[in-house]
């Protein structure tokens, strides 16, 4: 018998499963054992989060603890876990605590078979405060990025404005071809609008909003924002990207990841540097390689990348890279890094893509 197996309580020998009960009853995470979506066991942490005593929950449908918009998705995951007999983890759902406050819980579903019956062990971790802290960190990084990019963006806006002023003067003077001037002016206004939109997207706070997003469009928009800063540092950005490639993700957060990694690459290069963004489809993943020919990172420091307050910069705090790792992890992806002293660094982002 699996150490965490559990049949219905009437047939369950507590003496044979003291290890599981000891673990579950003292866990800080909320734990429920499900049989055909019905609850057969909950631990004290579950009762504390959602209120009511243990006996109330026995026989109830697990959907009761979730927000209406998440109930169907959760049940589908439970069924999928049983169908594939595979542990599923990382999904986040909304709920309401016993005090009526909205909470966010991350769920792990572990299927099991005991005496011919199928069960699912559901572990709920309250990550509400963690998400709030991460959002604060993310907002801080966005504002820092906006401050650093302000000069470059002002330059990108000043050039079209200069062009517009010149053509307005020509139109007032009645010189030249009016239709040609208006078409050029329209294009310059579109450029200003595009830059302003990108700046607002970086600056404003945002909740996580998962949808189908085009990664190629995100990369193009971010590199456009950084072109001026790269030019000032005598750095050239090259791109080798496939056609439109979609992932299920939060556009603003993914944009922040690309922005931080490319900015880090620019800052890692002393002079006459090159940055290459190479994207491809590998199996079920969209893979983006961001490589530079900077100074490189010592091998002993690579394992610390992504940890808060660890940085290779003199004035950095490590939070930007930490948020990159968190964001990609929340998208069921991963970040790998390779680096050689004197040759450069390569960050590799893998995200599940939508066929």
pLDDT band at residue 197 using 50, 70 and 90 as cut-offs: low
Q: How far apart are CA 212 and CA 207, in angstroms?
A: 16
Crossing angle for the helix pair 215-232 and 128-173, to the nearest 10 degrees: 70
* Average pLDDT of span 134-143: 74
Parse the chain into domains and list their residue ranges: 9-126, 131-354
For the stretch 294-320, pLDDT in tens is 888 887 777 767 654 445 555 454 557
Q: Is the dihedral of CA 304, 306, 312, 314 positive or negative?
A: negative
Of all residues in the chain, the percent with pLDDT exceeding 90 is 34
Q: Residue 225: exposed, middle, or buried by beta-carbon count in 10 A (0-12, 13-18, 19+)?
A: buried
For the stretch 58-94, pLDDT in tens is 999 998 888 898 999 999 999 999 999 999 988 899 9
**How high is the pLDDT of residue 39?**
92
Contact 9, 20 (CB under 8 A): no
The encoded tokens of residue 107 equal: 């769920």
**How high is the pLDDT of residue 288?**
97
Q: How far apart are CA 184 and CA 164, in angstroms?
A: 8
* Average pLDDT of span 16-30: 79
**How high is the pLDDT of residue 347?**
94
The answer, yes or no, to whether residue 355 has pLDDT greater than 70, is no
* Average pLDDT of span 20-26: 81
pLDDT band at residue 8 using 50, 70 and 90 as cut-offs: very low
**How high is the pLDDT of residue 43?**
92
Distance of CA 44 to the CA centre of its chain: 32
- H or E, element range at 77: helix 71-84
Q: Residue 19: exposed, middle, or buried by beta-carbon count in 10 A (0-12, 13-18, 19+)?
A: exposed
The 8 Å CB, 24+ separation contacts for 141-144 are 141/256, 141/260, 141/319, 141/320, 141/323, 142/202, 142/203, 142/256, 143/203, 144/320
The C-alpha angle 181, 187, 191, rounded to 5 degrees, equals 140
**How high is the pLDDT of residue 114?**
77
- Does domain 131-354 fall under CATH 3.30.565.10? My reply is yes
Across the chain, mean pLDDT equals: 82
**How high is the pLDDT of residue 7?**
39
The C-alpha angle 254, 263, 304, rounded to 5 degrees, equals 80
Q: How many CA atoms lie within 13 A of 183 on its CB side?
A: 4
Output the CA torsion 84→85→90→94 (10° steps). Answer: 90
**How high is the pLDDT of residue 55?**
87
Show Cβ contacts of residue 327 under 8 Å, excluding neighbours closer than 6 positions. Answer: 138, 250, 253, 254, 256, 257
- Top CATH class, 9-126: alpha beta
**How high is the pLDDT of residue 109?**
94
The answer, yes or no, to whether residue 192 has pLDDT greater than 80, is yes
The answer, yes or no, to whether residue 49 has pLDDT greater than 70, is yes
**How high is the pLDDT of residue 4?**
37
Of all residues in the chain, the percent with pLDDT exceeding 70 is 82
The answer, yes or no, to whether residue 45 has pLDDT greater than 90, is yes
Q: How far apart are CA 11 and CA 187, in angstroms?
A: 74
pLDDT band at residue 11 using 50, 70 and 90 as cut-offs: very low
The answer, yes or no, to whether residue 10 has pLDDT greater than 50, is no
Q: Please state which of the ranges 6-15, 131-140, 197-206 shows the lowest mean pLDDT.
A: 6-15
Contact 73, 41 (CB under 8 A): no
**How high is the pLDDT of residue 9?**
45
**How high is the pLDDT of residue 150?**
63
Q: Residue 214: exposed, middle, or buried by beta-carbon count in 10 A (0-12, 13-18, 19+)?
A: middle
Q: Please state which of the ranges 11-15, 57-61, 96-100, 237-241 shows the lowest mean pLDDT.
A: 11-15
**How high is the pLDDT of residue 171?**
87
pLDDT band at residue 125 using 50, 70 and 90 as cut-offs: very high
For 249-309, the three-class secondary structure string (H helix, E strand, C coil) is EEHHHHHHHHHHHHHHHHHHCCCCEEEEEEEEEECCEEEEEEEECCCCCCHHHHCCCCCCC
For the stretch 263-289, pLDDT in tens is 888 888 877 789 999 999 998 899 999
Q: How many CA atoms lie within 13 A of 207 on its CB side?
A: 3
């Amino acid at each position: 018998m699996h150490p965490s197996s559990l049949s219905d309580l009437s047939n369950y020998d507590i003496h044979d499963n003291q290890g599981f009960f000891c673990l579950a009853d003292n866990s800080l995470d909320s734990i429920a054992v499900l049989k055909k979506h019905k609850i057969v066991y909950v631990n004290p942490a579950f009762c504390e989060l959602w209120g009511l005593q243990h006996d109330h929950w026995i026989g109830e449908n697990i959907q009761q603890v979730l927000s209406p918009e998440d109930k169907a998705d959760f049940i589908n995951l439970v069924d999928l876990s049983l169908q594939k007999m595979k542990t599923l983890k990382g999904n986040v759902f909304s709920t309401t605590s016993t005090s009526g406050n909205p909470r966010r819980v991350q769920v792990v579903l572990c299927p099991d078979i005991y005496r011919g019956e199928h069960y699912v062990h559901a572990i709920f971790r309250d990550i509400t405060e963690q998400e709030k802290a991460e959002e604060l960190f993310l907002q801080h990084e966005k504002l820092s990025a906006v401050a650093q990019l302000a000069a470059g963006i002002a330059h990108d806006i000043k050039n079209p404005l200069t062009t517009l002023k010149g053509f307005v003067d020509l139109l007032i003077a009645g010189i030249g071809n009016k239709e040609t001037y208006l078409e050029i002016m329209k294009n310059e206004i579109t450029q200003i609008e595009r830059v302003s939109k990108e700046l607002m997207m970086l600056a404003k706070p945002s909740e996580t909003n998962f949808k189908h997003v085009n990664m190629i469009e995100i990369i193009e928009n971010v590199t456009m924002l950084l072109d001026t800063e790269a030019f000032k540092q005598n750095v050239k950005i090259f791109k080798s990207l496939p056609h439109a490639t979609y992932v299920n993700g939060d556009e603003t957060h993914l944009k922040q990841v690309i922005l931080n990694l490319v900015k880090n690459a620019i800052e890692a290069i002393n002079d006459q540097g090159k940055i290459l963004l190479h994207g491809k489809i590998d199996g079920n993943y969209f893979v983006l390689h961001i490589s530079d020919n900077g100074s490189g990172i010592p091998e002993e420091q690579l394992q610390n990348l992504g940890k808060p307050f660890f940085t290779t910069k003199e004035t950095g705090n490590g939070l930007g890279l930490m948020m990159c790792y968190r964001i990609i992890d929340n998208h069921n992806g991963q970040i790998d890094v390779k680096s050689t002293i004197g040759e450069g660094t390569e960050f590799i982002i893998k995200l599940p893509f939508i066929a």
